[in-house]
Amino acid sequence: NNYYYPSSAGKGINIYIIDSGIKLDHSDFDTYEGTNYNQHGMMAASVSGGKIFGAAKKANIHMISVDNFYSSIYVALDYIKNKEEKNPHKTVISISLGSYHEYDFIFQYKINELTNAGIIIFASAGNENSKLIKDYQNFYYFGDYDNVITVGATAKTSEFTNFGEYVDIYGPGYVLTEFLVNGSVYSYRNYGTSFASPLIAGVIATIMS
């Protein structure tokens, strides 16, 4: 119960959540415009920069909703680069998606472009309870890539989190948020590295501010 929370709270920092959408009439996001609702993306955005539960309550939250095709991730990264490269050291990205595929040099190139522009990228480590290794035929998207800060999960019982030398940092993996359903507020708990990554991104945004 003894902690200090900076009053800046991420003000002036842009947090991009690459996931699957937020709910606009949720109390955490009552001033934001625009995108579809998905529970997974909503919780990721909530712990990162929501007004109630967020680590960076005054940050600017940008949700980029993507599908499971990596071409859509490329479009998202290009959009962020074009929008923020003239505003260096004011932007963090959290990617709460992941699966195993063959290594893609194009994706690494796009990551390098962003980090060279002063943009920090976080990605979830995954929930397979396995050691991440850089097997280029079975590469973990997106945490295995260079210049990505890969986030694992901590808790009393976090048997699910991936681990190993390619996991850079660990953050809380169990989260609590609330949903507005038909005018009523319901509390909801979930777990996974998908929520540890945006939470750490929110903490970093608060420090940057």
Helix (H) or strand (E) holding 110: helix 105-116
Q: What is the pLDDT of residue 169?
A: 94
Task: Reply yes or no on domain 14-174+188-208 having CATH 3.40.50.720.
Answer: no
What pLDDT does 34 receive?
41
Residues of the chain falling short of pLDDT 70: 1-2, 20-38, 68-69, 156-158, 178-182, 185-186
pLDDT digits (tens, 9 = 90+) for 108-159: 999 999 999 999 999 998 888 888 888 877 777 788 889 999 999 987 666 7
pLDDT at 89: 93
pLDDT value for 156: 66
Q: Tell me, what's the pLDDT at 36?
A: 42
pLDDT at 1: 64
Specify the pLDDT at position 103: 86
